[in-house]
A and B are shown apart, each in its own frame.
Chain A
Amino acid sequence: MARASWAQTINYEEEDVSDMLMEMTGGRGPDSCVDAVGLEAHAPGPIHYYDRMKQAVMLESDRPYALCQAILACRNGGTVSVPGVYGGFDDKIPIGAMMNKGLTIKTGQTHVPRYFGPLPEHIKQGEIDPSFIITHRMRLEDAPKGFDIFTNKEDGCIKVVLKP
């Protein structure tokens, strides 16, 4: 789906994301990084199990792997945009990298009503149709199944819409 929108994709399970981003940007790093993942990030290898273990014993509320990756990959002086939801207190965030690279971090839950003017207009003009992202349609009664396939990424599930 990302490739269909002209994005170049990297599979973190098969490739080293940091190495690939450096290669794809001629060694400079991306101008900005978006952490759209938030607190339930998946990491390759032992780091993932470390984060999951810490969550299980309440030493850490979130798994901030995507945020760490974004901070480390972003070019000097770039921007890390964080719409991904976090809930609590996390350790091992590379604050030293953030500070010394002069990054700008911009975050927040979305100020949705701010966009109620321009975004419907884009849809009405045919410039974007967000429905492309829907992969599953179910009745409200099937919501538990929707949660199950969504969280386990089964059946190519990207977005579930429920109709009461």
Chain B
Amino acid sequence: MKANCWMGKKDVQVVDVPDPKILNQRDAIVKITATAICGSDLHLYNGFIPTMEKGDIMGHEFMGEVVEVGPEVKQRKVGDRVVVAFPISCGECFFCKKEMFSLCENSNPNAWIAEKMFGHSPAGIFGYSHLAGGQAEYVRVPFADVGTVKIENGLSDEQVLFLSDIFPTAYMAAENCDIKPGDTVAI
């Protein structure tokens, strides 16, 4: 399949890469119908995140159609139209149970690096830490029951795509301000 891959600082190229496969029983494969470039992709593009390797597939804002599911995926089936959350969350750990999904203890394959830098590792993110991203034709979505939302007919891709990242990001940023009527907020 075609995928947009990081090749070096300020160098991304669309190249042929192997199609993703189900690796874990809770995975799904999604055929991507729309994806976007995020401001935080630029941190990778501009060379500020040192763990990138040549060939890593970019992108963490994406949606599409489920084309394959692992045997332990119970909430999604082939044909479902889904938007995928950018952090990967197992749904079962201490943090996922508290709905702190971006702090999942089980989804960062480079947790050892984050632990050295931060003390503890946050969740893995599509398009970072060698987890294949969504600027491609297909993507493997780990823990598909947790990190996807099923979209009904009647809403276009463009209306719902940003549920993957920037819409909830802005919403959570505003929630964190604990805004009250009459408040002034500087952004």
Residues in chain A within 8 A of chain B (CB atoms): 7, 21, 24-25, 30-34, 36, 38-40, 55, 61-62, 70, 73-74, 79, 81-83, 85, 87-88, 106-116, 119-120, 123-124, 129-131, 133-134, 140-141, 143-144, 146-147, 150-151, 159-164
Q: How far is the CB of A158 from chain B (nearest CB, A)?
A: 10
Residues on B with C-beta less than 8 A from A115 are 163, 167-168, 171-172
Residues on B with C-beta less than 8 A from A161 are 34-36, 158, 161
Residues on B with C-beta less than 8 A from A150 are 37, 42
Do most interface residues of chain A lie in helix, strand or loop, or is the interface mixed? mixed
Task: Give the interface size class of chain B.
Answer: 35 or more
Do most interface residues of chain B lie in helix, strand or loop, or is the interface mixed? mixed
Given contacts A32-B185, A113-B147, A140-B2, contact A164 B33 (CB under 8 A): yes
Residues on A with C-beta less than 8 A from B85 are 112-113, 116
Kindly supply a per-residue 1/0 record for chain B positions 167-179, scoring 1 wherever the CB is within 8 Å of any chain A CB and 0 otherwise.
1111111101111
Given contacts A79-B176, A161-B35, contact A147 B12 (CB under 8 A): yes
Which of B19-27, B66-74, B99-107 contacts its partner? B99-107
Q: List 19 A-B contacts (CB under 8 A).
A: A32-B178, A38-B40, A62-B48, A74-B186, A108-B100, A108-B102, A110-B87, A111-B101, A111-B168, A112-B163, A113-B85, A113-B149, A120-B151, A140-B135, A141-B2, A144-B14, A147-B45, A151-B10, A151-B45
Residues on A with C-beta less than 8 A from B155 are 120, 123-124
Residues in chain B within 8 A of chain A (CB atoms): 2, 4, 10, 12-14, 32-37, 39-43, 45-46, 48-49, 58, 85-87, 89, 99-103, 117, 122-123, 125, 135-137, 146-147, 149, 151-152, 154-156, 158-174, 176-180, 183-187
Q: How far is the CB of B6 from chain A (nearest CB, A)?
A: 10
Whether B101 and A40, one on each chain, are in contact in the complex, defined by CB atoms closer than 8 angstroms, is: no
Contact pick for B185, options A31, A62, A123, CB 8 Å: A31
Residues on B with C-beta less than 8 A from A25 are 184
Whether A120 and B156, one on each chain, are in contact in the complex, defined by CB atoms closer than 8 angstroms, is: no
Q: Which residue of A lies closest to B186 (CB)?
A: A30
Residues on A with C-beta less than 8 A from B180 are 31
Whether A113 and B33, one on each chain, are in contact in the complex, defined by CB atoms closer than 8 angstroms, is: no
